[in-house]
Amino acid sequence: MRRLAVPSVLLLVCALVGCAPLEFEPSSPTAPAVSPKEQTELERKRGEAVEGQRWADQLMEAYWLRDDSSVQLWMPGTAERQIVSWGASKPGELELSVNGSEPTTDRDLKYFALRLLEEFGDPSLKSVTVSVLGTEVSVVARTEELDTSQA
């Protein structure tokens, strides 16, 4: 009898505890994750990034429609590249991710980026950053460099 009494008492206690209303102590309000000044800066950067992506999409669409190019992009003197993705953190600064079928050097990629600046021929384009997927290789070509490389 005693063996049945202990489990019965435990079940009764558990049932009573489960029926008791739980009360939580009110906690003090937490501070916002970012300050209002930081929030304004984040919103500005987010808006700039959205505007940059729209700009990049328009630039790439115009390039493909103008040239009737495919995703494969080949230029004399460069390895064959496939553009995988593009974007811009702000208008004027195009960022491309490419695949490469051959080993890539910084010099080869820089030449490729400078040739892209020439090919696009868009006055709003200030720089092209090209990164090779799966590697640490990334270069930036600016329009000022294009002017000096042609002189």
* Inside any domain, residue 123: yes
**pLDDT at site 143:** 81
* Inside any domain, residue 78: yes
Residues ≥6 apart with Cβ < 8 Å to 109: 130, 132, 137, 138, 139
Domain count, the chain: 1
Q: Structural domain of residue 136, as residue ranges?
A: 42-150
* Inside any domain, residue 21: no
Residues in the chain with pLDDT values less than 50: 67-72, 151
* Inside any domain, residue 9: no
Alpha carbons 1 and 6: distance in angstroms, whole number: 9
* Inside any domain, residue 15: no
* Inside any domain, residue 32: no
**pLDDT at site 13:** 58
**pLDDT at site 6:** 58
**pLDDT at site 63:** 75
**pLDDT at site 71:** 45
**pLDDT at site 52:** 92
* Inside any domain, residue 30: no
**pLDDT at site 50:** 93
**pLDDT at site 135:** 73
* Inside any domain, residue 6: no
Cα→Cα distances 1→6, 7, 8, 14, Å: 9, 11, 11, 20
Q: Yes or no: say if 67 and 32 are a contact pair by the CB < 8 Å rule.
A: no
